[in-house]
A = this chain, B = another copy of it.
Amino acid sequence: MSLDNIIDGRAIAKEVHTETEARVCALKAVGVKPSLIFIRVGEDPASRVYVGMKERSAMKLGIRSQTTVLPSDTPESQLLDLIKQFNDDEGVNGILVQAPLPPHIDETKIFSMVSPAKDVDGFHPINAGKLMLGEKGGFVPCTPAGVHELLIRSGVAIAGSQVVILGRGNIVGKPMAAILCQKESHANATVTICHSRTRDVVFHCRSADIIIAAMGASEFLKEDMVRPGATIIDVGVNRMEDPSQEKGYRLVGDVDFKAVQPIAGKITPNPGGVGPMTIAMLMRNTVLAAEQQVAKHK
């Protein structure tokens, strides 16, 4: 069985990192070392892993990073004060508050308190609005931005294509739709967002040229839901029970890769597809933030 339809997210992320590193060097040449703040609240195991990966990536690229870990019972007001302090600190270019936050903290409120100019996660409403309206200069959320880069750099024809996005979350589904429907090259797609209340998801999927699965349902997308030749992007990270594993589970995507890969035109593996791109986009956003802040202070 041929595997040459697999989109190598790690290789493409490496390309992006190389470009980002050159921009870091250019900033250093004018005396600026880009800096990124991570804030983590509590000890969610996945959050620890994600922040650790982002820290290592920043270090490799020459981006200064600093992580503040707060106990899970931290009052919301204390977290807000900390964000305000970093907002006001000219030595900080980007601020990332790792989700999920403990239930007593209002995530929406927290995200909207990060300075829009330092919002490298792209979760502030003003950045979401700029994305929706097609305005330049805002920050695009890292995962959908990463999927977009994957499609472009894999030579997938986006303009004029029919795209189905599975999932309408604020972190992936909605911004993904906003990116792909714009009147721009590498966009201009006809986008349908499917979700839990969609009546006939199979109908939509089977008419799609590109399917982006981001609804968090283990191996949901099967071969009979995919038009042969379609491009399949798997954003999902789900736990599936597996007694053969030491932890009792394994991580699987939203796509049944084994079943879909043989008929897909192009497909992302999982892991090794979207994940590395999310981190690459975070680094790129951080450098962009630093560049914009330097330009503003000139």
| CB-CB nearest in chain B for A192 | B192
Give the CA-CA distance A181 to B166 in the complex, in Å: 12
In the complex, whether A118 has a CB less than 8 A from a CB of chain B is no
In the complex, whether A188 has a CB less than 8 A from a CB of chain B is yes
Interface magnitude class on chain A? 35 or more
Complex contacts, A191 vs chain B, CB 8 Å: 192-193
Return the contact of A168 from the options B125, B127, B170, B183 (Cβ within 8 A): B183
| CB-CB nearest in chain B for A163 | B192
Complex contacts, A183 vs chain B, CB 8 Å: 168, 195-197
Complex contacts, A193 vs chain B, CB 8 Å: 181, 190-191
Instruction: Give the shortest distance, in Å, between A145 (CB) and chain B (any CB).
Output: 16
| CB-CB nearest in chain B for A138 | B125
Binds B, one of A13-21, A129-137, A217-225, A282-290: A129-137
Instruction: Give the shortest distance, in Å, between A42 (CB) and chain B (any CB).
Output: 23
Complex contacts, A203 vs chain B, CB 8 Å: 207
Give the CA-CA distance A131 to B160 in the complex, in Å: 26
Interface mask (A53-89 → B, CB under 8 Å = 1, otherwise 0): 0000000000000000000000000000000000000
Give residues 197-212 of A contacting B (CB, 8 Å): 197-200, 203-204, 207
Query: Does B178 contact A132, Cβ atoms closer than 8 Å?
Result: yes
Give the CA-CA distance A229 to B259 in the complex, in Å: 38
How many copies of this chain does one complex carry?
A: 2
Query: Does B108 contact A135, Cβ atoms closer than 8 Å?
Result: yes
Instruction: Give the shortest distance, in Å, between A161 (CB) and chain B (any CB).
Output: 8
In the complex, whether A227 has a CB less than 8 A from a CB of chain B is no
In the complex, whether A159 has a CB less than 8 A from a CB of chain B is yes
Give the CA-CA distance A125 to B178 in the complex, in Å: 14
In the complex, whether A47 has a CB less than 8 A from a CB of chain B is no
Give the CA-CA distance A193 to B178 in the complex, in Å: 10
Complex A-B: 19 CB contacts under 8 Å:
A108-B133, A108-B135, A125-B125, A125-B126, A126-B129, A128-B132, A129-B131, A132-B132, A132-B178, A134-B170, A162-B200, A168-B181, A174-B178, A189-B197, A190-B192, A190-B195, A190-B199, A191-B193, A203-B207
Known: A129-B131, A174-B178. 10 other contacts (CB 8 A): A128-B128, A133-B170, A159-B197, A162-B199, A181-B195, A183-B195, A183-B197, A190-B192, A191-B193, A203-B207
